[in-house]
Structure 1
Amino acid sequence: MLDRRMFLAAAAATLATPALAERRPPPKPAPDARRLTARVQLPGQVAFALLGPDGQAGPQDLALATAAIAPASTMKAITALYVLDRVGPERRFQTQVIRAGDMLILAGGGDPVLSTDDLGALAAQLAARGEAAPARFGVWGGALPTIPRIAPEQAEHLPYNPALSGMMLNFNRVHLGWTRAGEMSVEARGAAASPRAFTITAAAASQPQLFAYRQEAALEHWTVQRAALGGGGSRWLPVRLPELHAGDVFQTLCRARGFALPAPEVLDRLPQGEVIARHDSPLVGELIRDMLRYSTNITAEVLGLHASGAPDLPASGQRMLGWLNAAGLGQGMVLADHSGLGATSRMSVLEMARVMAGPGREMNLASLLRQNPLEGDPSGGPIRGEVAAKTGTLNFVSNLAGFVTSPSGRQGSFAIFCVDPARRDAAIGQEMPAGVSQWTRSAKAVQRDLLAAFAARLS
């Protein structure tokens, strides 16, 4: 009689033979990203480049790879690398209160995130000293060049297109509020205090345009189309005279603490004197992380100007391009600023992906970028893998650049630029042109599908 153990062993050996063993189906081939873009219904162009861990790309990893396209806010990823290399992550920018004879000076050091509450803390330091009231009060913003607006072609009222200088407050924007009765307020919004902005006025008017702006001596005047106000509401407006605005707010905060300052005057030159109060910005590394996360244009431009020392944004963009060129990168790029807001910047997805694969990897940019930035977006399919990337959005431009890591742990660098050139050119400067929301949603669906294909390709 066959021993039970011998029977089981024989049965196991039989089942283990190749002829009878259960076979797994062969793995599905990675989807071809080029075919994905060929069948989508997104009007315009879809360009992409995927570079493997070795920095190389196969033919199926490239589409319109050398076409010159507006980078939008993906430009901020390059700016982050430039600033990390030229300025370093440990630097801070200092706002000072200086006593120079009979003058008190509020001296900006180019802090892009200085807030009303920070000025309040400076006012408290000053009041605690028991200083005598000065005869003159000056504001100096010469640590950086004064630039009236980031992108002149953008609409005047857009809050993400403010003036730049070495003295900035609340991202150089003010809060406009209005009631159903038509009453308006303009404030320097803070968490602890929101003083009135006396150098900026707003009023309802019967006018064809939504907003109108004019400067008159030391004042900024906004008028808003009365028919568009409806009930109560609010929005942000850009500041165009930043030194006077910051000086006015500081004067109000000091007065609330019993320290009287005369009307502010803008200084072209910083006199020598004693620093009697100061405020330090966060570390540059922290500023970069927040700039990449919240895509703040003013922070990108200010950090880029600090890094380049240039007198204006086009010259600063050229110096950043020179930095790339010295590393053998940036072929065919046109860099007009550091935020990507300007209309004339251009680059290819291949060059952007090469920057990510080169200095991006060397400086560990992935740790500063948003993780899975398309997560939660209902459009497109699931992505098996991890993504660290910077988004970029303008009217009829939707871009993404960074790093994708497959479930097996292989990491590639990539760039995806979606653009509808004709509608983009027609919508420059508009706040919300017709059709842009649906087009952007469709572009993000394409990006999700491409990222899924990239992750599968790297597996």
Structure 2
Amino acid sequence: MLTATSWPRRARAPYAPASTTKVLTSFAALTTIDPQTRFTTRTVLEGDKLVLVGGGDPYLSTKRAGSRDDRVFQADLTTLARRTAAALKKSGTARVTLGYDASLFDGPAVSPAWSDSYLSENIVTPVSALWADEGVVDGLRSRDPAAAAASGFARLLAQRGITVSGEASAVPAPAAASTIAEVRSATVAQIVETLMRVSDNQAAEVMLRHVALAGGGPATFDGGAKAVRAALSAADVDVEGLRLNDGSGLARSNRISPETLVETLYASSTSPRTSGLAADLPVSGFTGTLVERFMGLDAALGTVRAKTGTLRGIHSLAGYALDRDGRPVWFAVMADRADEDAPLEARAALDRVAAAIASCSCG
């Protein structure tokens, strides 16, 4: 038996959710996009003009992933450069100019609802349909990740005998250009699994853009927020008080009620298409963002799966706990006026609520 519940006091009042926002983004991604969809990064050629075209792969990397790396890293610029160079040489082309096209997503690349310090403190990369390593170059987040990816791609081509004339520039891919080579991302289901497990802000914002496109809207923060709301409403999830300004939860102005979180998670468990979302939640004391939590709460170790949310003074936890009789109880616990100087105490208080559910016979 599945029991849906939420914190009973003011359950429908919206709170600042922090990263539990990713529950809604991920649910919308799985419901609006085929979970087996992959995003393609490609090169196209017209004359001697080569263009690197971004397809919105949040986990495109520079180098090939090792055998022990997360399965989400399936596409890389090194492989794309190798394939592109081989195709160019086969056609007798050894010199090109390079452009890059990241026009799949619209602006702004940084949410107006984010703190200005997010950029200056190296917390976020501006959202782009083309980046490598989430825009991180030498440990710093690029302010222009598409240009950085193209610059790195030019070097990879040069290492494979293709001369790139001049600097890479932002250009639209010519409509008549032929595809030279491509690499494909992990599936949407695999991307969602990773972004939920590690609470990946960057990947969540890219997926918000894809949700917007799937919903027929512009690939912007606002377009994504509208598409998420539509996906929730279509699943009969209560969206009263819902306010979204991003897909990751970095915006302190976001508002989600515990009821919305619980109903979203419960709805995900009722459909094969979205059932993986619950399985993607970190496990108390063992995986992801819960690996160092629930210490000393033995009854809850391994019996709680939940998404965390943490910003200064904001703490949330949403998921399910197996009660003493082995029944899953869905819950959301939220606090957005916690003592900013005592984050560990606030986090522990939320863990104790989940542990209490795991210790009771709640049916």
1:95–1:108 CA contact under 8 A, matched in 2: yes
2:16–2:253 CA contact under 8 A, matched in 1: yes
Say which is worse superposed, 377-386 or 255-264, in terms of deviation: 377-386
How many residue pairs match? The answer is 331
1:164–1:298 CA contact under 8 A, matched in 2: yes
Cα distance, 1:343 vs structure 2 = 2.2
1:366 partner letter: A
1:303 partner letter: M
Distance 1:369 1:359 in 2: 12
- The aligned counterpart of 2:333 is 416
Secondary structure (helix, strand or coil) at the match of 2:120 reads: coil
Distance 1:417 1:72 in 2: 10
Cα distance, 1:140 vs structure 2 = 0.5
TM (normalized to structure 2)?
0.84
1:103–1:134 CA contact under 8 A, matched in 2: no
2:79 partner letter: A
2:259 partner letter: L
1:122 is matched with which residue: 72, 80, 96? 80
- The aligned counterpart of 2:280 is 368
Say which is worse superposed, 385-394 or 127-136, in terms of deviation: 127-136
Cα distance, 1:406 vs structure 2 = 1.6
1:168 partner letter: W
1:341 partner letter: L
Q: Which residues of 2 match residues 254-403 of structure 1 at below 5 A?
A: 254-262=157-165, 263-309=167-213, 310-328=218-236, 329-362=238-271, 363-364=274-275, 365-372=277-284, 374=290, 376-377=292-293, 381-384=297-300, 386-403=303-320
Q: Which residues of 2 match residues 53-452 of structure 1 at below 5 A?
A: 53-55=2-4, 62-117=8-63, 118-129=76-87, 130=89, 131-150=92-111, 151-155=113-117, 156-175=119-138, 236-262=139-165, 263-309=167-213, 310-328=218-236, 329-362=238-271, 363-364=274-275, 365-372=277-284, 374=290, 376-377=292-293, 381-384=297-300, 386-420=303-337, 435=341, 439-452=342-355
Cα RMSD for the two superposed structures = 2.2
Distance 1:422 1:378 in 2: 20
Distance 2:33 2:280 in 1: 16
Distance 1:380 1:350 in 2: 29
Distance 2:94 2:101 in 1: 19
Alpha carbons of 1:331 and 1:359: their partners in 2 closer, same or farther (altered >3 Å)? farther
TM (normalized to structure 1)?
0.67
- The aligned counterpart of 1:44 is none
Cα distance, 1:421 vs structure 2 = 6.2
Say which is worse superposed, 154-163 or 374-383, in terms of deviation: 374-383
* Structure whose CA Rg is larger: 1
Secondary structure (helix, strand or coil) at the match of 2:38 reads: coil
Distance 1:380 1:135 in 2: 61
2:19–2:308 CA contact under 8 A, matched in 1: yes
Say which is worse superposed, 315-324 or 272-281, in terms of deviation: 315-324
1:68 partner letter: P
2:196–2:281 CA contact under 8 A, matched in 1: yes
2:85 partner letter: A
Distance 1:376 1:241 in 2: 35
Distance 1:136 1:286 in 2: 35
Distance 2:5 2:193 in 1: 28
1:413 partner letter: W
User: Which structure 2 residue ranges, 5 or more long, are not aligned?
Assistant: 64-75
Secondary structure (helix, strand or coil) at the match of 1:340 reads: coil
2:61–2:77 CA contact under 8 A, matched in 1: yes
User: Which structure 1 residue ranges, 5 or more long, are not aligned?
Assistant: 1-51, 176-235, 424-434
Distance 2:293 2:305 in 1: 15
Show CA shifts across 1:124-155 (max 9, x none).
22233314134421101112224332454241
Alpha carbons of 1:353 and 1:368: their partners in 2 closer, same or farther (altered >3 Å)? same
1:344 partner letter: S
Alpha carbons of 1:172 and 1:291: their partners in 2 closer, same or farther (altered >3 Å)? same
2:324–2:361 CA contact under 8 A, matched in 1: no
